[in-house]
Amino acid sequence: MIKSLFFSLFMGVTLTLGMFAAIAQDIHYNPLNTSPLSLNPAFAGMFDGQIRAGVIYRNQWSDASVPYITYGCSVDFPVYTFKNGSFFAGGVHLLKDEAGDGNLTNFTGALTVAYHKTFSAFSKDKKKNSDLAIGFQGAYSQKSIDLSKIYFGDEFSHGYFIPGIGPYPLGFGNHISYYFINAGISFDYSVTSRFNYTIGFSGYNLNQPNDAIEKKQNNQMGLNAQWTGVLIANWNVAKKITIQPALIYQNTSDASYAILGSDFRINTSGKTIVSSAFIGGWYRTGDMFTLTGGIQLQAFHIGFSYDYAIATVNSSANGTGGFEVHVKCIVPKSKHSAHKKHTSVNK
């Protein structure tokens, strides 16, 4: 009885934190600027330049005894460009979450490939102003937890014995590894030289892998497919002012939520080392508000954000949030480069 209760509690906590990990990786930080490959595989190569690389650090739930920390990095680039302007792109991104006294860790690494078909079907001057892309992603994930670091009062003897279950050696770590498949499609359209938009749809965990740490439960547990829709616009409302509104909707099984907001950018026309600065506000339905800000230093984009929680599992924690910093670099394309791309997800 005790063994069943323990593992029910253990699996419940593990899967709940795992769910938060997936949400944090995909949505809690600003994926439009920090990790577009974790939002839609078709976004690989969707930028002006030769190479796009970025890193992220996030610290949330700082009031907890052990805060929730996320690290990430990504790189993507055009691989081969055809004479008609269409191209293949590839990318890699890595994410790692750490949380709790039990050192619950979630590591994910993914390889992405995308094909972009450029055409001028909507252009009066026959310029390539549209992009239809499809992307695929193969990913590996590993979750682990160290039971020797979790204490349940007098249920533990010397920190590693659970009555009814037996002794666990110090340093014991339960873990599970699995692979999953993601895919996405996107359409980018430059309506004018000052306004363009991108619409995308993606599905993650399409093979619905088993992710239960306790091996005996693998035939009963598994990740549900996750569906994400994105609409992004990029509007140069004035010579030095750009607005980037966006709407992100995500659905997983019976859970769904939306994020909407906008970044506001002021351009300096290259007269200083700071080429632009931005500030923005975002709302996640029923969950939190996020303030964003940052600067563009030539090829480098440095951004910060802070979340203000308005709904948590423990109402006394309302108002707590998470701090994030990210750095992105886009290597400019050469003068002779055949890859020319203007899109709303490269800002």
What pLDDT is stored for residue 102 in this prediction?
Answer: 58
Instruction: Answer for the pair 196, 189: CB distance below 8 angstroms, yes or no.
Output: yes
Enumerate residues 6+ apart whose C-beta is below 8 A from 307.
Answer: 28, 60, 288, 289, 290, 321, 322, 324
Higher per-residue confidence, 289 vs 286: 289
This prediction's pTM: 0.77
Q: For 304, phi and psi rounded to 5 degrees?
A: -135, 155
What band does 101 get if pLDDT is binned at 50, 70 and 90? low
Structural domain harbouring 33: 2-331
**Mean local confidence (pLDDT), 247-257:** 87
- C-alpha to C-alpha distance for 347 and 345, rounded to whole angstroms: 6
Report residue 201 as tokens: 């749809």
Task: Give the model's pLDDT for residue 286.
Answer: 80
Chain CA centroid to CA 184, Å:
14
Residue 346 lies in a domain: no
The number of distinct structural domains making up the chain is: 1
**Which of 3-7, 27-31, 68-72, 281-285 has the largest mean confidence?**
281-285
- What per-residue confidence (pLDDT) applies to 200? 96
Span of 39-53, 104-118, 153-167 with lowest mean pLDDT: 153-167
Q: Give the model's pLDDT for residue 222.
A: 65
Residue 343 placed within a domain: no
pLDDT band at 317 (very low <50, low <70, confident <90, very high): very low
Dihedral angle sign, alpha carbons of residues 235, 236, 238, 243: positive
Nearest to 76 by CA among 339, 275, 296: 339
| Percent of residues, the chain, with pLDDT higher than 90 | 40
Residue 241 falls within a domain, yes or no? Answer: yes
Does the structure show a pLDDT above 50 at 29?
Answer: no
The confidence score (pLDDT) of residue 175 equals 74
Is residue 324 in some structural domain? yes
Enter the tokens of residue 232: 């992004």
Contacts of 27 (CB under 8 A, 6+ apart): 248, 250, 257, 259, 284
| Model pLDDT, residue 271 | 65
Residue 212 belongs to some domain of the structure: yes
Give the tens place of pLDDT for each residue, 158-205.
444 444 444 444 444 477 889 999 999 999 998 888 999 999 999 999
CATH number of 110's domain: 2.40.160.40
Q: What is the mean pLDDT of residues 62-71?
A: 72
Q: What b/e string do you get for 28-60 counting C-beta neighbours within 10 Å, with b at 16 or more?
A: bbbbbbbbbbbbbbbbbbbbebebbbbbbebeb
Residue 345 belongs to a domain: no
Q: Residue 347 falls within a domain, yes or no?
A: no
3-state secondary structure of 24: helix
pLDDT tens per residue across span 202-247: 999 998 887 655 544 444 556 788 999 999 999 999 889 999 999 9
Whether the pLDDT of residue 24 is over 80: the answer is no
Mean pLDDT, the chain, rounded, equals 76
**What integer pLDDT is reported at residue 309 of this predicted model?**
79
Least confident residue range of 103-107, 145-149, 305-309: 145-149
Report d(CA 123, CA 120) in Å as an integer: 5
| Lowest model confidence (mean pLDDT) among 34-48, 89-103, 209-223 | 209-223
pLDDT of residue 333: 79
Say what the pLDDT of residue 125 is. Answer: 60
Question: Rg for the chain (alpha carbons), in Å?
Answer: 22
Tell me 25's DSSP state. Answer: I
The separation between CA 223 and the C-alpha centre of its own chain, rounded to angstroms, equals 17
Alpha helices (H) in the chain, listed in sequence order: 2-23, 31-34
Within-domain flag for 337: no
Distance, in Å, from the CA atom of 282 to the CA atom of 258, rounded to the nearest integer, reads: 10
The helices-and-strands tally (H runs, E runs) of the chain is 2, 16
